[in-house]
Copies of this chain bind each other. A is one copy, B any other.
Amino acid sequence: MELYGGVEAGGTKFVCAIGTSPEDIRAEVRFPTTEPRETLAKTVEFFRQYMVKNNARLTAIGVGSFGPLDLNPSSPNFGKITTTPKSGWAFTPLVQTLQDGTGVPVFLDTDVNAAALGEGTWGAAKGLKDYMYITIGTGIGGGLIINGMPHHGLVHPEMGHIRLIHDQKADPFVGICPFHGDCFEGLASGPALQARLGKPAESVPAYHPIWELEAEYIALALNDFICVVSPQRIILGGGVMQQTHLFPMIRVKVQQFLNRYIFASQILERIDEYIVPPALGNRAGVMGAIALAKLRVEG
């Protein structure tokens, strides 16, 4: 059994783990994301110490990172975080630094593609080939798996930035995306809810009217995702989706928006199994990174 490393490289925290599957995690560490040199040194140290102490070899390390990332192997910026507004992190060479530091091959993808792969390998999308994982948290992003492989295309999807119908009368909020104002992320991310409420979304009760509005925006976005890529399943994760009462509201609204146009029993009759929460809990990110390493090595 090959042993893999995984790194969930988040904007607020890093999670590193070593193992073969969610049932077999040999070591794990979590620490806050500070400046890149220090953060990556801690990451390298975790893997090196494990290998030395256990006289073990890692076959590969997967990294699921915040972005935007350059994932084009023929680009001079390949393996780097590129134009992130996160202070100090623009053009950080993730792959090179971790590979040089550990001596282990490193495979990079977006945090959401990694999370999607983890769910496909061990969780809520097991057995499917074409599916997506959407996170609704500090930001909104989507990972897209097509034919079992993480999809990139020109750069990689940035699903949080589609534009939604925004009824200014019902919701006069201008949106918080610095690039687009009222794009999906601008209207429906955790900080967008907090800006309207004046306090974190987790502090308002389930009967607060903001959740109806939130479900509406998420359902509108899913309507578009379904029309554009026709996924076999959609997994909704991230802090905001811990409000689990959103799921039934979103499912009904998606059916209403599609209005029986897409002829598939998964949507018409079994939408509870079509729009689902993640199954891997708070290890989804780092397990996804391990799944990525496994996929790249074992195919």
Contact = CB atoms under 8 A, between A and B. Distances in A.
A255 interface: no
A153 B130 contact: yes
A259 B180 contact: yes
Interface stretch (A25-33, A34-42, A195-203, A224-232): A224-232
A170 interface: no
Contacts of A45: none
Contacts of A152: 130, 230
A228 B225 contact: yes
A230 B156 contact: yes
Nearest to A152: B230
B180 A230 contact: no
A42 B2 CA distance: 59
Contact of A159 (B83, B156, B228, B266): B228
A153 B229 contact: yes
Interface stretch (A96-104, A160-168, A289-297): A160-168
Contact of A220 (B83, B163, B223): B163
Interface of A: 68, 82-83, 130, 142, 144, 146-147, 149, 151-166, 179-180, 220, 223-232, 257-264, 266-267
